[in-house]
Amino acid sequence: MDSQQFREFGREAIDFLANYYDTIRDRDVLPSVQPGDIIKKLPKDAPEQPEPWQQIFQDYKDVVIPGITNWHSPQFHAYYPTGTSFASIIGGLLSDGIGIMGFTWIASPVCTELEVVSMDWLAKLLGLPEEFLNSHSGPGGGVLQGSASEAILVGLLAAKDKMIRRLKKQDPDLDEDLAKIKFVAYTSDHCNSAVEKAGVLGSMKMRLLESDINGRLRGKTLKKAMEEDKALGLIPCYVVCNLGTTGLCSFDAMDEIGPICRENNVWLHVDAAYAGSALICQEYRHLLNGIEYADSFDVNAHKWFLVNFDCSAMWVRDSYDLINAFDVQRVYLEDVDSEIKIPDYRHWQMPLGRRFRALKLWFVMKSYGAEGIRSYIRRHISLAQYFAKLMKADNRFIIEPEPSMGLVCFRLVQGDLLTKKLLENITKKKKLFMVRGSFRNQYIIRIVICSQLTNIEDVELSWNKIKNEANTLLENDAVHIKSQTITTIHGMENICVTEKSK
């Protein structure tokens, strides 16, 4: 493909994407494919000869598009949002277009320095403490990871290394291998699966502690668990505090958890993957109570901040904790000396290679402005509250727990079986997509405002689909119960006749 073909293909691709978003309401949320259907459509071997871009693009439209789940449909209400915006798409295109690597400053100076500035901008917008700023005189700063999962693991590995260094100061003859197997990490039983996985990957026992009736991990529960483990000769090492759990969007009591971590020299990582973006709105800043105890904090800009995946913003109070854990030197990676504080980001992450993620984040912040992003997040929350208002007027449904951010959890009064059947019936029609959850051991359905395109009419459409499906389900259930009752009565009559004839 030469530059002229690139221009032609690029124009076609941009036009296609613009039209895709313009017509997304006309598309089913879920694709009409079965497992293996796409594999059957594709050749078993790669082509020997180059194919024209027109053919490649046609295959994209014929094979790829029919197999996608339309995450940005206003009727997509599953999981949490995955960010996108035209500003971010252009930022990603231009980042990929120049094709740079940013593992050292000299490898691409702007890759490092734009990230330094963008992360400081974002930290200030979210109201994070000065200690987390790259521009602060201290050792803290921000870095873009690939995902919140990476940030959790990076924090765990840094905590592990820091604990070993602390213990070796106390006992220079410490057996490091023996000490490491005694390390314990803690989090809520409502945590994301990534937290558990970090324990597996980092070879650290991860205790999932029971949350309270509102899905929050409390300080007294953490303190009790640490005391139990210390009595067994184990060593508390790492805590993940969830600000917006995946299932319920519940918030752990960071102001209670923080002092316990500080008292026990335990690393406190704050996972605010989804809900952290709402901190840009002043009315949600109270959620940061206790942030002064955090060693690291992470929010997925690629969830609710209009930035395309992957772009996870992580800040640390002391970057030397990361550098000490991940610094592996090679002659060919020597960088320039500078009197200005410039981070060597390859030591702040697991991989060596670094994508120019900051460009799309920078484009979004410049394109929308802080007020535009605030308005977007507030609109999502308002739409979730509007949906809850519509549902609360129908006494066949129960909303619990209370709606949180852009999430509403609900169930049918009739219980788990019919609530599960309701979700199954809706999903089969592919017009509306939600996923299940659990609250106080009861089956619930989660509906999240995800698409940046969603408006009041879309929310009303989703509600009507849910309500109509419930009408059909409950009517059929009533007929079934009536039929069973009649059958039982007839059965009893037959028994009585038989008894009389005897």
Taking the C-alpha atoms of residue 471 and residue 256, their distance in angstroms, rounded to an integer, is 45
Q: Which two tokens stand for residue 456?
A: 């009041």
CB atoms near residue 74 (< 10 Å): 23
Place of tokens 């309270």: 212
CATH label, 103-356, candidates 3.40.50.720, 3.10.450.630, 3.40.640.10, 3.90.1010.10: 3.40.640.10
Contacts of 236 (CB under 8 A, 6+ apart): 184, 186, 226, 229, 230, 264, 266
CATH label, 379-484, candidates 1.10.10.10, 3.40.309.10, 3.90.1150.10, 1.20.1560.10: 3.90.1150.10
Q: What is the pTM of this model?
A: 0.90
pLDDT of residue 452: 94
Determine the length of the chain: 502
H/E run at residue 301:
helix 301-304
Strands 183-188 and 205-209, how do they pair? parallel
pLDDT of residue 102: 87
Query: Tell me, what amino acid is at 29?
Result: V
Contacts of 243 (CB under 8 A, 6+ apart): 251, 252, 254, 270, 271, 272, 275, 276, 287
Q: Which two tokens stand for residue 303?
A: 């969830």
Q: Which CATH superfamily hosts domain 3-68?
A: dopa decarboxylase, N-terminal domain (1.20.1340.10)
Q: What is the pLDDT along the chain (502 residues), one digit of tens a residue?
A: 899 999 999 999 999 999 999 999 999 999 999 999 999 999 999 999 999 999 999 999 999 999 999 999 999 999 999 999 999 999 999 999 999 988 888 889 999 999 999 999 999 999 999 999 998 888 999 999 999 999 999 999 999 999 999 999 999 999 999 999 999 999 999 999 899 999 999 999 999 999 999 999 999 999 999 999 999 999 999 999 999 999 999 999 999 999 999 999 999 999 999 999 999 999 999 999 999 999 999 999 999 999 999 999 999 999 999 999 888 776 556 666 666 778 888 888 888 888 999 999 999 999 999 999 999 999 999 999 999 999 999 999 999 999 999 999 999 999 999 999 999 999 999 999 999 999 999 999 999 999 999 999 999 999 999 999 999 999 887 665 555 555 555 555 565 555 555 5
Q: Which two tokens stand for residue 138?
A: 């201290």
Domain ranges of the chain: 3-68, 103-356, 379-484
Q: Which two tokens stand for residue 93?
A: 């295109």
Asked whether the beta carbons of 295 and 269 are under 8 A apart, the reply is yes
Q: Which two tokens stand for residue 19?
A: 């039209």
Of 470, 290, 356, 380, the residue nearest 115 (C-alpha): 356
